[in-house]
Amino acid sequence: MPEGPSIVILKEAVAAFKRKKVLQVSGNSKQDIQRLANKTIIDFKSWGKHFLICFKGFTVRIHFLLFGSYTINERKQTAPRLRLQFSNGEISFYSCSLKIIEEALDDVYDWSADVMADDWSAAKAKKKLKAHPDMLVCDALLNQDIFAGSGNIIKNEVLYRIKVHPKSLVGALPAKQLNDMVREARAYAFDFLEWKKKYELKKHWLAHTKKICHRCDLPIIKEYLGKTNRRTFYCDNCQVLYT
């Protein structure tokens, strides 16, 4: 599943189609995608893991789920969920969820929750966390209402960076660790963005998919944890459990 930084990269990659008219629409989506034909794209936006194609009066939301993908000026053999053709190229989206949003985006999205956004608010994130003291930190970092755009890689790497065990309870975290988690969720997202653009993201992983803790030289544990039952990699020695 693409995390927030990957959606930002997509937004930048399709900038050439901004203010372009959609000349042809195709795809197997059950949504009324033909209403996009002959409409001009006003803007591209991102919120967390959502890619937003903005038209006058409505927005198309793309969510890539677990296996979604896209191509720009290229085609896969499989049928796209949505393909938009312009005078200067085309975008195709595959195996994704598509929804048409009729409301104003400011009424739908809390931009301050997006870890990649200029409007990101650490203070609001901490307030939301304190409202869920019994939540596991591994679930908190995947909660899109708190950390929109944070995914499994960010979760694992942030908890390893701040030396917090994934089974820790949010309400048991000392103030320093709570602040560290909020700060590093955003900091790692921008490191992710930089490394992804350089095609070197995996080279910088310290915990995610790793076998040995580079700090302790002990085995990294792999478990499926939390309400989402996602893969979690951690060191039982240097990541402190707070309960």
How is the chain split into domains, by residue range? 4-108, 111-234
Quote the pTM value.
0.91
* Average pLDDT of the residues in 104-113: 96
- How is domain 4-108 classified at the architecture level of CATH? Alpha-Beta Barrel (3.20)
Provide mean pLDDT across the span 124-143: 97
Q: In the chain, pLDDT over 70 holds for what percent of residues? A: 100
Using alpha carbons, select from 57, 62, 63, 64 the residue that is nearest to residue 41: 57
- For 23-104, strand residue ranges (E) read 24-26, 43-47, 50-55, 58-63, 69-72, 82-86, 89-94, 97-101
* Across 172-197, average pLDDT: 97
Question: Other C-beta atoms within 10 Å of 221: how many?
Answer: 16
- Per residue in 119-143, is it b (16+ CB within 10 Å) or e — as a string? ebbeeebbebbeebeebbbbbbbbb
Share of the chain above pLDDT 90, in %: 97
> What class has domain 111-234?
mainly alpha
Give the per-residue pLDDT at 239: 98
Asked whether residue 1 carries a pLDDT value surpassing 70, the answer given is no
Task: Please give the pLDDT value at position 119.
Answer: 95
Mean pLDDT, rounded, for 11-30: 96
Is the pLDDT confidence value at 163 over 80? yes
Averaged pLDDT for residues 208-218: 97
Average pLDDT over residues 9-35: 96
Whether 47 has a pLDDT exceeding 80, the answer reads: yes
